């Protein structure tokens, strides 16, 4: 049977090794196995700990599955379009050639799925007890997860999303958001940036994205997550390798010149088209704090070209409702105290409250493409901007991880769903357990 570990809450297969006859005769416990100093040499017989699967980068015919592991292992996903797993298929991690193995995270991408279709799946993880080389290795017993399910995206899917942002590895408020997500049970979740603070190690990213120390660790095992980076998700010496933990979008969605737009998405979810953009860092590229590492201005220009092409796709253009997601807001009123902080000044003390550069690059495309709603984070407080003649789209900003009710700061879940031909936008304050905004938006 599986045991629960107290700290991380992974599901562990097996248990302590049985004592040998010699140790049993002396009534002395057998020594606990110890992993090698180099984890890539195997687990050394230490029971492997396997995390709950996390659904990522969903599409009409694709779905990503990632999960955490405590030691060197390989993994596959078994899936079927029925709960009995009749005619089930097995998919290995990686692409062609050598199957990747890892000591902390495994990833499998399912392809060739049917749009708007429910599938049942489970992960199978096998530890390498010993791995001196490919000719001298030893496998342990496979560990099979519980069965989960997901539904692919597409025009026939239920038009219902939720958005969270600015979680910043604050597990108390993250648990509040997750509890609301489980209650709402949307078709997909957009994690709209600033999941991290500064990420120096892969272990930190694995904890945040795959194994959060919260009660509902399986929060993304049945509802897929689309991730868009916030400014903090570019900070840290390891974070440039985050695709080892968060799968990029399926390569078939990209041309070669768009390869670096790894997490941008443009997908149909019922009567809605959901489009995800990356506003990047919150200061100019030449800002001294970046030490010459920033190249976001070219990144934003490339996204403008990509955005124009996505709205020209028939399945996106024909959607009754078009919703754009990005971390940093694209608008601030001229009489707002946030207006001067537009992300274009090189000031050691300043940072963007809204992105003038993104607004100038993307705003005209968004406007002429008929977008009704832009959903953002970054400000750590709820805010709503009504549409205007020169900006016919509304903008909603969700709250973050902090709580200061006097300043209007509280964690939120932003919910959008199509009801009777209208887009209903609901903002949930998950700290006070109340609805702070409820609006119907016409096409």
Residue 1 burial by Cβ neighbours in a 10 Å radius (0-12, 13-18, 19+): exposed
Asked whether residue 60 is assigned to any structural domain, the reply reads: no
Compute the average pLDDT of residues 380-398: 96
In a domain, 256, yes or no: yes
Q: Are residues 107 and 169 in the same domain?
A: no
Q: Distance between CA 348 and CA 373 in Å, rounded? A: 33
- Look at residue 56 and tell me if it is in a domain: no
pLDDT at 8 over 50: no
pLDDT in tens, 190-220: 999 999 999 999 999 999 999 999 999 999 9
pLDDT average, residue stretch 270-279:
98
Percent of the chain residues past pLDDT 70, beyond the cut: 93
**Three-state DSSP state, 9:** coil
322: CB partners within 8 A, 6+ apart: 272, 273, 275, 311, 316, 369, 370, 371, 372, 373
Answer yes or no: is pLDDT of 16 > 60: no
What pLDDT is attached to residue 30? 60
| Same structural domain, 275 and 420 | yes
Q: What is the pLDDT of residue 28?
A: 56
- Is pLDDT at 293 greater than 60 in this prediction? yes
Lowest-confidence region among 309-313, 343-347, 411-415: 343-347
pLDDT tens digits, residue range 19-59? Answer: 333 334 445 566 678 888 999 999 999 999 999 999 999 99
Same domain (yes/no): 98, 178: no
Give the residue from 150, 182, 207 where a domain finishes.
150
Same domain, 243 and 374: yes
Residues 197 and 115 reside in one and the same domain: no
Region 238-246 average pLDDT: 96
Work out the pLDDT band at 9, boundaries 50, 70, 90.
very low
| Domain extent for 227 | 160-441
Element holding 317 (H helix, E strand): helix 314-317
- Please indicate, yes or no, whether residues 26 and 108 belong to a single structural domain of this protein: yes
My answer on whether 399 and 358 are in the same domain is yes
Looking at the fold, whether 111 and 230 belong to one and the same domain comes out as: no
Does 386 fall in a domain? yes
Between CA 67 and CA 123 the distance in angstroms is: 9
pLDDT of 417 higher than 80: yes
Better-predicted residue by pLDDT, 442 or 1: 442
pLDDT in tens, 142-197: 999 999 999 999 999 999 999 999 999 999 999 999 999 999 999 999 999 999 99
pLDDT tens-place string over residues 67-81: 999 999 999 999 999
- DSSP character string of 350-383: ---SS-HHHHHHHHHHHHHTT--EEEE-SSSS-E
**CATH code for the domain in which residue 336 is found:** 3.60.21.10
**Which tokens sit at 117?**
């279709």
**Rounded mean pLDDT of 304-308?**
98
Mean pLDDT of the chain: 92
Residue 155 included in any domain: no
Rounded to whole angstroms, how far apart are CA atoms 199 and 409?
Answer: 25
Q: How confident is the model at residue 381 (pLDDT cuts 50, 70, 90)?
A: very high
The runs of H, that is alpha helices, within 167-291 are: 171-184, 202-209
Residue 142's closest CA among 89, 69, 41, 84? Answer: 69
């Amino acid at each position: 049977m599986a045991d629960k570990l107290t700290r991380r809450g992974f599901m562990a297969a097996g248990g302590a090794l049985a004592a040998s006859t010699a140790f049993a005769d002396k009534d002395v416990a057998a020594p606990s196995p110890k992993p090698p100093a180099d984890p890539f040499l195997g687990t050394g017989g230490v029971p492997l700990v396997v995390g709950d699967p996390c659904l990522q980068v969903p599409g009409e015919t694709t779905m990503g599955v990632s999960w955490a592991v405590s030691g060197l292992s390989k993994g596959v996903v078994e899936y079927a379009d029925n709960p009995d797993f009749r005619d089930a298929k097995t998919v290995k991690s990686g692409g062609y050639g050598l199957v990747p193995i890892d000591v902390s995270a495994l990833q499998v991408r399912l392809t060739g799925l049917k749009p708007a279709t429910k599938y049942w799946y489970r992960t199978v993880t096998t530890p390498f007890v010993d791995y001196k080389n490919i000719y001298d290795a030893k496998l342990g017993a496979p560990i099979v997860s519980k069965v989960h399910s997901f539904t692919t995206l597409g025009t026939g899917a239920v038009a219902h999303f939720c958005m969270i942002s600015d979680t910043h590895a604050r597990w108390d408020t993250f648990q509040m958001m997750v509890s609301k997500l489980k209650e709402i049970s949307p078709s997909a979740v957009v994690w709209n940036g600033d999941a991290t603070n500064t990420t120096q190690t892969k272990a930190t990213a694995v904890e945040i994205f795959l194994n959060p120390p919260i009660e509902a660790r399986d929060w993304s095992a049945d509802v897929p997550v689309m991730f868009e980076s916030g400014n903090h998700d570019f900070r840290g010496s390891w974070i440039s390798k985050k695709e080892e933990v968060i799968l990029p979008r399926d390569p078939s969605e990209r041309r070669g010149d768009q390869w670096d737009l790894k997490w941008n998405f443009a997908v149909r979810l019922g009567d809605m088209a959901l489009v995800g953009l990356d506003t990047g860092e919150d200061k100019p590229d030449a800002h001294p704090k970046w030490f010459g590492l920033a190249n976001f201005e070219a990144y934003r220009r490339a996204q403008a070209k990509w955005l124009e092409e996505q709205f020209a796709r028939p399945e996106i253009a024909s959607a009754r409702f078009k919703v754009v997601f990005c971390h940093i807001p694209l608008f601030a009123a001229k009489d707002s105290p946030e207006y001067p902080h537009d992300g274009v000044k090189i000031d050691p003390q300043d940072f963007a409250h809204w992105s003038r550069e993104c607004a100038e690059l993307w705003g005209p495309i968004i406007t002429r493409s008929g977008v009704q709603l832009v959903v953002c984070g970054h400000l750590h407080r709820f805010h709503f901007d009504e549409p205007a003649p020169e900006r016919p789209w509304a903008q909603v900003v969700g709250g973050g991880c902090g709580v200061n009710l006097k300043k209007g700061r509280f964690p939120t879940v932003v919910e959008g769903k199509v009801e009777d031909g209208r887009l209903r936008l609901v903002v949930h304050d998950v700290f006070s357990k109340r609805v702070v905004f409820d609006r119907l938006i016409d096409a």
